[in-house]
Amino acid sequence: MYIKELNLKNYRNYEDLTIQFENKVNVILGENAQGKTNVMESIFVLAMAKSHRTSNDKELIRWDEEYAKIEGSVEKYNRSTALQLVISKKGKKAKLNHLEQEKLSQYIGAMNVIMFAPEDLNLVKGSPQVRRRFIDMEIGQMSAIYLHDLSRYQKIMQQRNHYLKLLQMRKQTDRTMLDVLTAQLSEAAAKIIYKRLQFISELQKWAQPIHSGISRGLETLVIKYKPSIDVSEDNDLTKMIEAYEQKFAKIREKEIERGATLAGPHRDDLVFYVNDHDVQTYGSQGQQRTTALSLKLAEIDLIHNEIGEYPILLLDDVLSELDDFRQSHLLNTIQGKVQTFVTTTSVEGIDHQTLKEAATFHVKTGKLSDDK
């Protein structure tokens, strides 16, 4: 899979841009604050319909303009697909092959991307929210059903939280509605956690040998899902629903007292162990970075295994954050098989064949040009 052409209109600091890319490594060079990351972000947004940098879509629209438009031509399964995303103050409209999609969940997954930016090195030591977002975005790219279940869960939880608040403030006393919402939430939560446990199992399978290679065989990585209820990947969906219902029955009074849902996928976490030690708590910075890099590289193989195509890899200013050995491991992994975009201020000091054979682009004040 690769993106052949990218068109930007009123996106961040780009007024109008049309650029062709090659199915190999594409290096985007430029000083800071010129627009390198904006190009990278636009490819991510075109794929995921959301930014990795901001939750406020209005920030993506060029100053004083009404809308931003991203278009791309993507080669996947030996077919060319036209993607278009228009972002305005009214919301987002997505088109696949010029046909507007009713739901974004029908659009996401047409192009698969993996973003690796300096903040992703915080995947291990950051907050649980960072790790949940990582899980949701990666599964969501491969499963429209998961996105649908996640959206449904969030809507039910909002309704349930609202009703818990009414009970807390004694504006409601009837608990029948709470029972109905709890049953609905238990089912939605079980579907999400079931898919997450499957994903983590697969991720572990691909990440473990990669981590062993980067650590020169000295370390063993284990990834564990930490749910807010007592379940394992051996449980079927029915048992998971029962486990949630039992948990909610147990904490019902506490939830009414707090006016909030206190268990569910929105409170779960991931734990990474290296040689049986929790990396977040006891790992060195090097171990934390190796773990983050292993996860990102594992995603490449995992997505390829799931959909039969390699995703597009976006390396935003991350090479300078890695030492020579980890840099080499990363570049060896992608060599010749993954269309990759690399942003950097300079490639000096990175002596690798992959970058010597790369297509090079230069960015200056919202203008992008290639070396041809």
User: Binding site residues, as ranges?
Assistant: 30-37
Element (H, E) at 42: helix 36-48
Of 228, 128, 240, 146, the residue nearest 192 (C-alpha)? 146
Three-state SS at 303: helix
Read off the DSSP letter of residue 204: H
Distance, CA of 129 to CA of 283 (rounded, Å): 20
Cβ-proximal residues to 58 (8 Å cutoff; 6+ apart), any chain: 89
Residues tagged in the binding site annotation for ATP = 30-37
Give yes or no for a contact between 104 and 302, defined as CB atoms under 8 angstroms apart: no
Number of alpha helices (DSSP H) and beta strands (DSSP E) in the chain: 11, 15
Write the burial class of residue 292 (CB in 10 Å: 0-12 exposed, 13-18 middle, 19+ buried): buried
Give yes or no for a contact between 260 and 296, defined as CB atoms under 8 angstroms apart: no
Cβ-proximal residues to 250 (8 Å cutoff; 6+ apart), any chain: none
Write the burial class of residue 97 (CB in 10 Å: 0-12 exposed, 13-18 middle, 19+ buried): exposed
Read off the DSSP letter of residue 174: -
Instruction: Give the pairing type, strands 91-96 and 359-364.
Output: unpaired
Distance, CA of 10 to CA of 17 (rounded, Å): 9
Distance, CA of 262 to CA of 232 (rounded, Å): 20
Instruction: Give the pairing type, strands 221-226 and 113-116.
Output: unpaired
Distance, CA of 137 to CA of 109 (rounded, Å): 10
Query: Which residue do the tokens 């080669």 mark?
Result: 75
Considering only CA atoms, give the Rg of the chain: 22
Read off the DSSP letter of residue 61: B
